[in-house]
Chain A
Amino acid sequence: MQLLAERIATWLGMEGLPRQAVVAGVVLVVALVVATVVLTIAGILTWAERRVAGRTQSRVGPNRVGPLGFLQWVADGIKLITKEDVIPAAADRTLFRLAPYPVIVGIFAAFASVPFGQKLIAADLNVGVLYLMAITSLVVVGVLMAGWASNNKWALLGGVRSAAQIVSYEVPSVLAALSVVLLAGTLSLQGIIGKQGGWPWEWYLFYNPFTFVAFFLFFTSAVAEGNRTPFDLPEAESELVAGYNVEYSGMRFAGFFLGEFANVYLLSAIATALFFGGWQIPGVTPDMQAASPVWQAVGVGLFALKAGTGAFVVLWLRWTMPRLRVDQLMGLCYRYLLPLSFAMLLGNAAYVWLVPQWAAWVVQGATTTVGLAVAGVFVRRVFYHIRHVGDDVSLDLARGESGTFDPQLQVRVYGAFRRRHAGDSAS
């Protein structure tokens, strides 16, 4: 950070200023830039979630504000900022006001060490992976604060459930991430990405069967840590109204809301860095990438693409899977994920210790083949199902002939659906 400060100061011709001021200024600017990026990502994800939900449920989703409704998140943000911030009379006022901050700080601070690109990282810490796990655990404190301070039984139940869930699922997710750390021999995210390559067979995902399983363990636990469906018991609308943030409104609610969506992107970004080769471009060595700004930009784009795909899968899961019950949730963590992640860690340790290099190549190739084949079959099934169920919502149709809302549209879409499946029920 200080080196960066020095470079920027030299570049701006500000060497005359005291060093501390420049360092402090640079830190502030970097923090602001990171916060803005995170807010934008989270906002866009709220829009993406509603669009994905719409398509999954054969409806349109937001499409009024901007092209494809893209600016909906800006409108929502403005609405939430201008709304009244209601504090319940019986609430613990101080804690109620403070509760969103640990959540926001925990998630935004984590983005400081997310490697968006080879050189696009706010702070490449040598304890990167652990830092991410540690700083995101501040979220628990905020959630508990919110749940308790609201003085509402649903909020308290939601907060306590959420905290139990986050604390429990942190263990398998850290253990699964440790599998990769063990192979890379470093906790720094840039170091881990540097050990991988651009091609799929160079990713840690396909390094050996243990890492392949470890990825799914990590992803599942991370989704659970983020309180996302199918693990969204803390805010289960049907039983807890909305969980720990039920009493929140206006900007404080937006804090929790954006925190949740930033967390979705965060977990995809970590998974990308740990298992999917991060910003590595196929066929381009890190040295070549370091030399050329064009490759840099491609790398950043590739990282965003991979992380965006991950985030899409998380959104997709939400609208596909039913919610678990509390005991099933805890049972899944402690009976299956935890022992499995231990096994994967031990398996990786044994693998590093026992397997000679030539066998490792063979295993890597075989894992890649099997993994890609499984992925291919999965994608084929998905498209098969889409074809069969039908995807009748045409987004052009939704705009109506005159560009305004068409009340007949729903009927027409439903009619098309009925016609297509007229034969199904008969057979």
Chain B
Amino acid sequence: MQQHRTGPAWGQEEKLIPLSHTILLSAVLFAVGTVGFLVRRSAVMMLVCVEIMLNAANIAFIAFARHHLSMAGHIWVFVVITVAAGEAAIGLALIVALARERGTIQVDELRSLKG
């Protein structure tokens, strides 16, 4: 079979994504998640924002794992995903209990501990 690769466009190696790009993305997402956590007043939405932050951390893990070619990052992503699942399950169960007990999930209104 004749191989005639002409032009440099075909042989060239795919460029890898620079580490700084991924870490920047991770930082931006984490910041967005933080803002959301501070801004949203609904308990469910605060949990959603926590998920955004956890994902930002995961992106950083994967990016560094790729950079250092070490599988440890992947393992910790699994741990984070599992913790996120547990957090969602317990957090949402708490919110359901809260809604039943108080009829609201607005965190501003839950201030009965304040003297």
Contact = CB atoms under 8 A, between A and B. Distances in A.
Is any CB of A less than 8 Å from a CB of B in the complex? Answer: yes
Interface of A: 6, 10, 15-19
15 contacts: A6-B10, A10-B3, A10-B4, A15-B4, A15-B5, A15-B6, A15-B7, A15-B10, A16-B6, A16-B7, A17-B9, A18-B9, A19-B9, A19-B10, A19-B12
Given A16-B7, A17-B9, A19-B12, 6 more contacts: A15-B7, A15-B10, A16-B6, A18-B9, A19-B9, A19-B10
A6 B10 CA distance: 8
A15 B6 CA distance: 7
Contacts of B12: 19
Interface in B1-52: 3-7, 9-10, 12
Interface footprint category on B: under 10
A10 B2 CA distance: 10
Contacts of A16: 6-7
6 tightest A-B contacts by CB? A19-B9, A18-B9, A15-B6, A19-B10, A15-B10, A15-B7
A154 to B, nearest CB: 24
A17 B7 CA distance: 9
B59 to A, nearest CB: 18
B13 to A, nearest CB: 11
Interface of B: 3-7, 9-10, 12
Nearest to B12: A19
Nearest to B10: A19
Q: Which residue among B3, B5, B9 has the maximum number of chain A CB atoms within 10 Å of its CB?
A: B9
Contacts of A19: 9-10, 12
Contacts of A10: 3-4
Nearest to A6: B10
A79 B5 CA distance: 49
Contacts of A15: 4-7, 10
Nearest to A2: B14
B39 to A, nearest CB: 22
B83 to A, nearest CB: 19
Nearest to B4: A15
Contacts of B5: 15
Contacts of B6: 15-16
A10 B6 CA distance: 10
A334 to B, nearest CB: 16
A394 to B, nearest CB: 57
A15 to B, nearest CB: 5
A20 to B, nearest CB: 8
Contacts of B9: 17-19
A18 B12 CA distance: 11
A10 B12 CA distance: 16
Contacts of B4: 10, 15
Nearest to B14: A2
Contacts of A17: 9
Q: Which residue among B7, B10, B12 has the maximum number of chain A CB atoms within 10 Å of its CB?
A: B10
B93 to A, nearest CB: 16
B74 to A, nearest CB: 13
B23 to A, nearest CB: 26
Contacts of B10: 6, 15, 19
A17 B9 CA distance: 8
A205 to B, nearest CB: 32
Nearest to A21: B9
A140 to B, nearest CB: 15
B16 to A, nearest CB: 15
A16 B4 CA distance: 11
Q: Which residue among A6, A10, A18 has the maximum number of chain B CB atoms within 10 Å of its CB?
A: A10
A393 to B, nearest CB: 52
A16 B7 CA distance: 7
Nearest to A17: B9
A15 B7 CA distance: 8
A96 B10 CA distance: 44
A18 B11 CA distance: 11
A15 B10 CA distance: 8
Nearest to A19: B9
A6 B12 CA distance: 12
Nearest to B5: A15
B78 to A, nearest CB: 13
A16 B3 CA distance: 14
Contacts of A18: 9
A18 B10 CA distance: 8
B48 to A, nearest CB: 15
Contacts of B3: 10
Contacts of A6: 10
